[in-house]
Structure 1
Amino acid sequence: MKFKILLISVCLILLKLTCQALPKDYTITSPDTKLKMQVRVDGSITYSVYLNNNILISPSAIGMTLQNNILGNAAKVSGTKSKTVNSTLHPLYGKEATLTDNYNELVINFEGNYSLVLRAYNEGVAYRFVTSFSEPIIVVNEKAQFNFSGSPEVVFPETDNYTAWEVPYINYNSITAIGEGKKAITPTLFSYPQSKTKVIVAEADLLNYPGMYVKKQNDKLVGNWAKYPAEIKMGSWGDFVMQVAKTKDYISETDGSRAFPWRVIIATDDDKTLLNNQLVYKLATPAKLTNTAWIKPGKAAWEWWHDAMLPGSSIPSGMGNRNTKLYKYYIDFAANNNLQYLMIDAGWSDNYNLLKVNPKVDIKELIAYGKSKKVGVFLWCVASTLIKNLDANLDFLQSIGAVGVKVDFFDRDDQAAIALFEEIAKAAAKRNLMVNFHGCSKPTGLQRAYPNIVNYEAVRGAECSKWDYSANPDHHLLIPFIRMIAGPMDYTPGSMRNRSKESFKPVDPGLPSSQGTRCHELAMFVVYDQPLAMLSDSPTEYEKYPDIMKFLGAVPTVFEETKVLDAKVGEYAVMAKKQGNNWFIGAMTNWEARTVELDFSFLKNDKIYTIDLYTDAADANTNAEHYEHKTIQVTKKTKLQLPLAKGGGAVAYLKM
């Protein structure tokens, strides 16, 4: 009898050991079952991603190396739990009044006080690590592999540093063509031309942790992060940029109990879905502000891009004449054209002392004058200057009546820099101040928690037209599919000096021009997400074209509904967005001329709409400023053929 008991005990132990040695597979699928993520725990942790049962990402290792522990090494599952969520989100503003938040979630708990959380949406899949340690931890490095099946084409926003996000995109015909050691900011796009599948690697809910890059390492793509700063010095532009002089040998020092950022894989075989994919927002921390009535997105006049020049005006203008009288002209222009704000850029105060106001600019009088005209004033400042005494500086901005602040020259996304974004947004919200981040890393959803963040730059925008050729229509038809996945972007459109590919030349200083047609430029106000939208050009230039200002005055910056009518990554986009009873349509093409069909079947009723239609003129291929404006009537049965010139576009404003 004792022998039998011993034998049974030995068998049970062997069985238990055998079961522990066997790999364990976990699968999570999207609500529509098209997307699937599989996780295998076999000592290590790997994941795979499938679209329509076709593998996109082959088994890829993930984990975190802590100073005294490795998450994902000798991993043992202690339990799992799952749930399905199908709810509705109500963003304060954006391109949809409501968002469907529908996903399946699986939490895999591991021995050693950590978990892996998986989510599958129709728009994409994501994972994040969650730790439950009683003491602070140091993250030496994170492991995130992206082992793509086959060798897809890549649109690589390449960078050789950790300090810039206004980068051009480099097209590679395969991952193998990317040089060893090269890295790119995220989001990054991968393409399988035969299946028309697009995959985007991104991240969401980045809080108090460094931002993720993708890097070619040992012939594979892996996550990459800036090291934790050990020493900061002032340098770069005007010696007011916080530069990292020395780093620690790890990437993060943080709380032991926390959720880490989501690693996001967006996959689709329909390019159109990328233009309204809001997965990054859905994965972000929910709103932390309760009083939000003062947060009001809108359009702004702005002096910097065109060097504050007012050709034809009766008052002195130009950068040397930025004074109270000049800025009142901008306020009058804004008030007369349904622009809600004036953005006053660098020069109104000392770059190193926010409280030292330029004596040529009576900032209090200007703000009071703006209020009398129902035009709020945003004020620019340097990030390093603002945070020297954050509370006092923001108190000053609040005391003079500013509605918001444009914070520039972060030029970092290590953990210490990322923490500043939330710190500034939180402190600004306490004072009812909106924030426009510039010289910043890409958004990852912080604007959901703090909707007073009304825009981010992190894009190679119109400013580059002053000094190079990179802000061109080919670029313009990549950023809404890639960079815009992360969140809103301050491209600063609105140029009225429009040039063909052959005639464009950079101009700085002076009055710059842009590449592409005038209608191409107007379409950005519909296609691009920009809750705070700059009108980059000179008021006197806009005033020459009342019909253009009719459209720019009417088009909102946030919408209740968005329809992507047609699109192809890097080539063209046609979108319709609704606000109230009105629809706004924007169409853009790259340097290839084409005709797109405008199908109005998205209209939900049989009523007749009056439409102001702006299209490229017949000679817009050579004279990019030429356009045609006409007023017609349409119904949901109407179809129009829109000829788009090289670098062309079209816009429409529909009213019942």
Structure 2
Amino acid sequence: MKKLLYLPLIAVASTMSMTAADITSPDGNITVDMNVVDGVPLYSMEYKDKAVIKPSALGIELTDGDDLMNGFEIVNTSASSYDETWQPVWGESRDIRNRYNELLVELRQPSTERYMNIRFRVYDDGMGFRYEFPLQDNLVYFIVKAEHSQFAMTGDHTAWWIAGDYDTQEYSYTESRLSEIRPLLEASICDNVSQTLFSPTGVQTSLQMKTDDGLYINLHEAALVDYSCMHLNLDDKNMVFESWLTPDAVGNMAYLQAPAKTPWRTVMVSDDARDMLSSNLILNLNEPCRYSDTSWIKPVKYIGVWWEMIGHGKQWSYTFDLPSVKLDSLDYSKTKPHGQHPANNDNVKKYIDFAAEHGFDQVLVEGWNIGWEDWSGKWKDYVFDFQTPYPDFDIEELNRYARSKGVKLMMHHETSSSVRNYERHMQAAYDLMDKYGYNAVKSGYVGNIIPRGEHHYGQWMNNHYLYAVTEAAKHKIMVNAHEAVRPTGLCRTYPNLIGNESARGTEYESFAGNKPSHTTVLPFTRLQGGPMDYTPGIFEMNMKKVNPHSAGNVNSTLARQLALYVTMYSPLQMAADVPEVYNRFLDAFQFIKDVAVDWDESRYLEAEPGQYIVAARKAKGTDDWFIGCTAAENGHESELVLDFLDKGRKYEATIYADAPDAHYLDNPQAYTITKKKVTAKTKLKMKAAPGGGYAISVKPL
């Protein structure tokens, strides 16, 4: 990362024994007020003279001794300004401006002589605040029982939400009024192998809302390090959200040692939905890159042995002869292969050949290692060793073959949530990757956590996820963690965290589990904190054709599957379907081959949460543009103005669109491909079918 412009911090105010202070955004549209009333810290927020957050209390409840919630006085305030432009290792834009005004409020609790600071950073598109605990005699080691950060809403807003859960985010989003969360929450829940709900009005961040007078508000957190993940619990009588942390095995929320700080609590606001999608507030609230050398971190477009198991019903395992597996006494030579194991030499070579032919970087192979016969749902400790391949997977030969074709294999580590076991084997597993030339790993955390009683989103696990990333960096390995805590912008600081799942992904499409509106909500919510490995590109929508036991259809048109490579930003993009299907649609598959995974510029042309998103992106280091539209059940009509193209220059647009009779339910594979000459003055009338979309590549002539 290169810092291009830096303005030093400038202190502008310092006052003893104040009771209030305020700060505005650089453009003057946002104002944050902070005061202490009867010893309780309160803040409020306005946007263009409209209230966004009504006066809301701040404080920390401790397990022992006096709480840090009241009895405070302001002893000092200081304000400063900051402006820089930095370049991410990969991202939606080549340059990101980080401009804010900052207010530091220093609080003292006279009865205990303890100190707590609250720091606000106010941007043009929102603000963040966090608690800070300076080095002091009377507060050194302390345990957080609860954090009571409030977000008092101004009305019964429309919200796009998923149920609060300590262990999974794999739920469909519900659109409702805040007052309807309680009656709708139970029906919004589907089964998962690990889930722990905590409240009839609890929801997860990032939470997207819209007010009746047209303000878009988003609540989330940034820089989640050494702390528990924050959920939101709603007092639906008063429309007040309060932070709700993930507990550990004994019920505590966080263990801190001063000097310490919490993650940022963030509020984004605008009267234009597109600003929600283009905001860099979460990234900017994270620390700069920690690595001096990032040359080994590269965006990846990949295919893989995965959808055969997810969608086609094949097996990760090798045999049906082993109802119980103990790795230290396992001999597969005494078992009969069941013949449904796609992670075998011949099949993997087929994928390698396909990747080489079509210019893909890597091939993911799941089910390559021993132990899959007995892995999930048993709270099993020693479940995988992450080193020993099945008899039909020649790890040395397959990596040699991949290299000969100019392709890499992508490693897969499913921990089965036995985190102690993963850390037991992690260094040897990374050493094995070094030996064979792997530079990326997809990890998974399916099931209940070991150590038993810990949750996926607690402080202990959040520290583990970051440990896995930083240890991987020592081996120049990129990490794509599934079932991990949802991202909070840490990919700025640790850019080898190249992707996460942490939401309901394409795998649920295999049994009609995602609503058509799903991909019109995720960029407003889950993607606010970092990219998602959504695994798009499914072309065969009728899952019963490939698996008679499947529940139904993929709720998308083929053209919309192409568009997701643009609307669902990620530097890690999978062509998730199988080669045999792509060979039937090579004309449409061309877009997946052409579309970039790293960008110089991104523009959101049209957006409304739950309805449609239209995005345009300029590929890194080129003059090529790609446009994508994803639409919900009602479809979408657009008139695109291509004024972002270079003036006076001619381009050729290849348009992949829904056919006039396309529909996600009964005609999803109906699409058209047309070419036309365009310029910066061109206007394109486009129509997305219900559950459909369109994708356009625009290249200079």
State TM-score, norm by structure 1: 0.88
Which residue of the partner structure matches residue 500 of structure 2?
456
Which residue of the partner structure matches residue 530 of structure 1?
570
Q: Are the aligned partners of 1:204 and 1:281 in contact in 2 as well (CA < 8 Å)?
A: yes
C-alpha deviations, 1:526-547, integer Å up to 9, x for none?
Answer: 0111111111101111122222
1:275 is paired with a residue of what secondary structure? helix
Q: Are the aligned partners of 1:307 and 1:318 in contact in 2 as well (CA < 8 Å)?
A: no
* Alignment-mate amino acid for residue 169 of structure 1: Y
Q: Are the aligned partners of 2:538 and 2:561 in contact in 1 as well (CA < 8 Å)?
A: yes
2:573 is paired with a residue of what secondary structure? strand
% same residue = 27
Q: Label 1:177 to 1:655 Cα distance change in 2 as closer, same or farther (>3 A).
A: closer
- Whether 2:43 is the aligned partner of 1:47: answer yes
Which residue of the partner structure matches residue 175 of structure 1?
179
Which residue of the partner structure matches residue 328 of structure 1?
349
Q: Label 1:309 to 1:181 Cα distance change in 2 as closer, same or farther (>3 A).
A: closer
2:386 is paired with a residue of what secondary structure? strand
Query: 1:364 deviation in Å?
Result: 1.9
- Whether 2:65 is the aligned partner of 1:68: answer yes
Which residue, 242, 246, 263 being the options, matches 1:222?
Answer: 242
Alignment of 1:246-645 (within 5 A): 247-248=250-251, 250-307=252-309, 319-350=340-371, 351-383=383-415, 384=419, 385-409=421-445, 412-467=456-511, 469-498=512-541, 513-579=553-619, 580-621=622-663, 622-645=666-689
1:480 is paired with a residue of what secondary structure? helix
Q: Are the aligned partners of 1:56 and 1:149 in contact in 2 as well (CA < 8 Å)?
A: yes
C-alpha deviations, 1:23-70, integer Å up to 9, x for none?
Answer: 722111111111121111121101111111111211111111233343
* Alignment-mate amino acid for residue 71 of structure 2: A
Q: In 1, Cα distance between the equivalents of 2:457 and 2:118?
A: 24
Q: Are the aligned partners of 1:606 and 1:635 in contact in 2 as well (CA < 8 Å)?
A: yes
Which residue, 209, 219, 233 being the options, matches 1:190?
Answer: 209
Larger mean Cα displacement after TM superposition, 165-174 or 558-567: 165-174
Query: 1:176 deviation in Å?
Result: 6.0
Q: In 2, Cα distance between the equivalents of 1:444 and 1:177?
A: 24
Q: Are the aligned partners of 2:209 and 2:216 in contact in 1 as well (CA < 8 Å)?
A: yes
Q: Are the aligned partners of 2:312 and 2:547 in contact in 1 as well (CA < 8 Å)?
A: no
Where do 5+ consecutive residues of structure 1 fail to align? 1-18, 230-246
Query: 1:89 deviation in Å?
Result: 1.3
Q: Label 1:441 to 1:508 Cα distance change in 2 as closer, same or farther (>3 A).
A: farther
Q: Label 1:450 to 1:349 Cα distance change in 2 as closer, same or farther (>3 A).
A: farther
Q: Label 1:100 to 1:183 Cα distance change in 2 as closer, same or farther (>3 A).
A: same
Which residue of the partner structure matches residue 3 of structure 1?
none
Query: 1:274 deviation in Å?
Result: 1.5
Structure with greater strand percent: 1
Q: In 2, Cα distance between the equivalents of 1:457 and 1:321?
A: 23
1:551 is paired with a residue of what secondary structure? helix
Q: In 2, Cα distance between the equivalents of 1:495 and 1:172?
A: 29
* Alignment-mate amino acid for residue 688 of structure 2: L
Q: In 2, Cα distance between the equivalents of 1:638 and 1:400?
A: 50
Q: Are the aligned partners of 2:343 and 2:367 in contact in 1 as well (CA < 8 Å)?
A: no
* Alignment-mate amino acid for residue 324 of structure 1: N
Q: In 2, Cα distance between the equivalents of 1:151 and 1:321?
A: 51
State TM-score, norm by structure 2: 0.83
Q: In 2, Cα distance between the equivalents of 1:278 and 1:504?
A: 42
Q: Are the aligned partners of 1:495 and 1:521 in contact in 2 as well (CA < 8 Å)?
A: yes
Q: In 2, Cα distance between the equivalents of 1:304 and 1:575?
A: 28
Q: In 2, Cα distance between the equivalents of 1:332 and 1:69?
A: 65
Query: 1:513 deviation in Å?
Result: 4.6
1:601 is paired with a residue of what secondary structure? coil
C-alpha deviations, 1:235-261, integer Å up to 9, x for none?
Answer: xxxxxxxxxxxx24x211122212210
Q: Label 1:60 to 1:163 Cα distance change in 2 as closer, same or farther (>3 A).
A: same
Query: 1:144 deviation in Å?
Result: 1.0
Q: In 2, Cα distance between the equivalents of 1:184 and 1:505?
A: 37
Query: 1:512 deviation in Å?
Result: 7.6
C-alpha deviations, 1:543-582, integer Å up to 9, x for none?
Answer: 2222222211111112110011111111111111001110
Which residue of the partner structure matches residue 156 of structure 2?
151
Query: 1:470 deviation in Å?
Result: 3.3
Query: 1:107 deviation in Å?
Result: 0.7
Which structure 1 residue ranges, 4+ long, deviate > 6 Å from structure 2?
308-311, 503-506
* Alignment-mate amino acid for residue 35 of structure 1: I
Which residue, 208, 216, 225 being the options, matches 2:226?
Answer: 208
RMSD: 2.4
Q: In 1, Cα distance between the equivalents of 2:341 and 2:180?
A: 51
Q: Are the aligned partners of 1:410 and 1:417 in contact in 2 as well (CA < 8 Å)?
A: no
Query: 1:466 deviation in Å?
Result: 2.3
Where do 5+ consecutive residues of structure 2 fail to align? 1-15, 109-113, 184-198, 314-336, 372-382, 448-455
